[in-house]
Amino acid sequence: MAKILVVTHHNFSHLYYEVLELIHLPLSIDILEIRFGEIEKIDYNMLAKYDLLITSGAHLEMINENYSELSSILPIYPLHFTEADLVKGLVKAKQHGNKVMVMYFPRTEFELHKYSEMLGIEIEILNFSSLNEAEELMIQHKKKGFNVIVGTSSVCEIAEKNGIHNVFIYSKDSLKTEIIKAYQFASMKNKMTNYAMVKEAILLNVENPILLLDQKFLITSLNTPAVKLFKLRHKHELIGESLSKFLKIDIQSTDLPLEIEHPNYKIIIEPISSSATAKSYVAVISKETIRQVSKTSPTDFASKYEFTNIIHNSSEMKKVILKTKQYAVSDAPLLIIGESGTGKELIAHSIHKYSGRRLKPFLPVNCSAIPQHILESELFGYEEGAFTGAKKGGKPGYFELAQKGTIFLDEIGEMPIEIQAKLLRVVQEKEVIRLGGNKIIPLDVRVITATNRDLKELIKENLFREDLYYRINVLQIQVPSLRKRQDDIPIILRHLLIKYGLDKTKVDFLIESVKNSLNTYQWYGNIRELENFAQRFCALNSIADDETYILKIFYDVLGEFTSTNLNENNESIKSPPITIDLEENPNIEEYEKNKILNALIQNQGNKHTTAEQLGISRTTLWRKMKQYNISKII
Which of the listed residues 478, 501, 535 is the one where a domain comes to its end? Answer: 478
In angstroms, rounded to a whole number, what is the distance separating the alpha carbons of residues 306 and 404?
Answer: 19
In this prediction, residue 38 has a pLDDT band, given cuts at 50, 70 and 90, of low
Regarding predicted confidence, which is higher, 552 or 248? 552
SS3 157: helix
> CATH number for the domain including 413?
3.40.50.300
- Asked if residue 139 is part of any domain, the answer here is yes
Contact of 29 with 6, CB cutoff 8 Å: yes
Lowest model confidence (mean pLDDT) among 275-289, 456-470, 474-488: 275-289
Q: Are residues 392 and 539 in the same domain?
A: no
d(CA 614, CA 145): 37
Q: How many CB atoms lie within 10 A of CB 449?
A: 29
Q: Tell whether 517 and 371 lie within a shared domain.
A: no
Whether residue 36 is found in the same domain as residue 138 = no
Q: How many CA atoms lie within 13 A of 273 on its CB side?
A: 20
Closest of 9, 176, 159, 7 to residue 93, by C-alpha: 159
- d(C-alpha 546, C-alpha 8), whole Å: 31
Q: Give the integer Cα–Cα distance in Å for 290 and 265.
A: 6
For residue 294, pLDDT over 50 is answered with no
What digits encode the pLDDT tens for the residues 159-179?
999 999 999 888 777 788 888
* Same domain membership, residue 318 and residue 403: yes
Region 424-447: what's the mean pLDDT?
92
Q: What is the CA radius of gyration of the chain?
A: 29
What is the CATH number for 607? 1.10.10
Is 283 a domain residue?
no
Question: pLDDT at position 409, please?
Answer: 97
Mean of pLDDT over the chain: 80
Asked if residue 429 and residue 467 are part of one domain, the reply reads yes
Least confident of 287-291, 386-390, 590-594: 287-291
Give the span between the Cα atoms of 509 and 550, in whole angstroms: 9
Q: Residue 462 — pLDDT band, cuts 50, 70, 90? A: very high
**Structural domain total, the chain:** 5
Classified as helix, coil or strand, 281 is strand
If you ran DSSP here, which 8-state letter would residue 572 be given? B
Q: Which residues make Cβ contacts (< 8 Å) with residue 194, sequence separation at least 6?
A: 272, 273, 275, 280
What domain range is 488 assigned to?
483-581
Is 231 or 122 the better-scoring residue by pLDDT? 122
Taking CA atoms, 448 is separated from 337, 399, 492, 500, in Å, by 11, 12, 25, 31
Cβ contact 413:468 at 8 Å:
no
Residue 137, domain CATH: 3.40.50.10660
Residue 451 lies in a domain: yes
**Cα(23)–Cα(219) distance, rounded to whole angstroms?**
24
Task: Report if residue 608 sits inside a domain.
Answer: yes
SS3 78: strand
Are 547 and 411 members of one domain? no
Residue 606 maps to a domain: yes
Which residues make Cβ contacts (< 8 Å) with residue 168, sequence separation at least 6?
12, 15, 89, 151, 152, 153, 156
Strands (E), 394-460: 406-410, 431-433, 440-442, 446-451
| Other beta carbons less than 10 A from residue 314's beta carbon | 17
**Helix/strand/coil (H/E/C) assignment for every residue in 312-358:** CCCHHHHHHHHHHHHHHCCCCCEEEECCCCCCHHHHHHHHHHHCCCC
For residue 228, count CB atoms less than 10 angstroms from its CB and return exposed for 0-12, middle for 13-18, buried for 19 or more.
exposed
Domain finish residue from 144, 169, 194: 169
| CA dist., res. 236 & res. 234, Å (int) | 5
Q: How far is CA 628 from CA 193, 287, 547, 595, 623, in A?
A: 71, 73, 21, 11, 9
The Cα diameter of the chain in Å comes to 87
Give pLDDT, residue 578: 46
Tell whether 205 is covered by a domain: no
Tens digits of residue pLDDT in 376-420: 999 999 988 887 777 777 889 999 999 999 999 999 999 999 999
* Ordered DSSP codes for 125-144: EEE-SSHHHHHHHHHHHHHT
How many other C-beta atoms lie within 10 A of the C-beta of residue 548?
Answer: 15
Tell which wins on pLDDT, 604 or 286.
Answer: 604
Task: Rank 202-211, 355-364, 549-558 by mean pLDDT and report only the highest.
Answer: 355-364
Instruction: Give the rounded percent of residues in the chain with a pLDDT score beyond 90.
Output: 32
Neighbours of 411 (CB within 10 A): 18
Sign of the four-CA dihedral 55, 61, 66, 68: positive
Contact yes or no for 284/205 (Cβ under 8 A): yes
Same domain, 472 and 399: yes
Q: How many CA atoms lie within 13 A of 48 on its CB side?
A: 2
CB 518 within 8 A of CB 483: no
* Torsion sign across C-alpha atoms 247, 250, 253, 255: negative
The H or E element spanning position 82 is: none
Looking at the structure, do residues 487 and 462 belong to the same domain, yes or no?
no
What is the C-alpha separation between 307 and 177, in angstroms, rounded? 26
68, with CB counted inside 10 A (0-12, 13-18, 19+), is exposed
Backbone φ, ψ for residue 552 (5° rounding): -60, -45
**Does residue 190 have a pLDDT over 70?**
no
Whether 273 maps to a domain, the answer reads no
Mean pLDDT to the nearest integer, 474-503: 93
End of a domain among 169, 192, 209?
169
pLDDT at 571 over 60: no
Residue 234 confidence (pLDDT): 75
Residues 102, 70 share a domain? no
Residue 42 has a CB neighbour count (10 Å cut-off) of 19
pLDDT value for 423: 96
Answer yes or no: are the C-beta atoms of 479 and 307 closer than 8 Å: no
Mean pLDDT of the 432-454 span? 93
Cis amide leading into 78 (omega within 30)? no
- State the average pLDDT over residues 58-87: 70
**Mean pLDDT, residues 360-385:** 89
Helix (H, G, I), strand (E, B) or coil at 124: strand
The residue length of the chain stands at: 634
Co-location of 358 and 374 in the same domain: yes
> Domain check: are 322 and 440 in the same one?
yes
Whether residue 190 lies inside any domain: the answer is no
What does the pLDDT average to over 470-474? Answer: 96
One domain for residues 397 and 311:
yes
Q: How confident is the model at residue 132 (pLDDT cuts 50, 70, 90)?
A: confident
Measured distance between the N- and C-terminal CA atoms of the chain, rounded to whole angstroms? 67
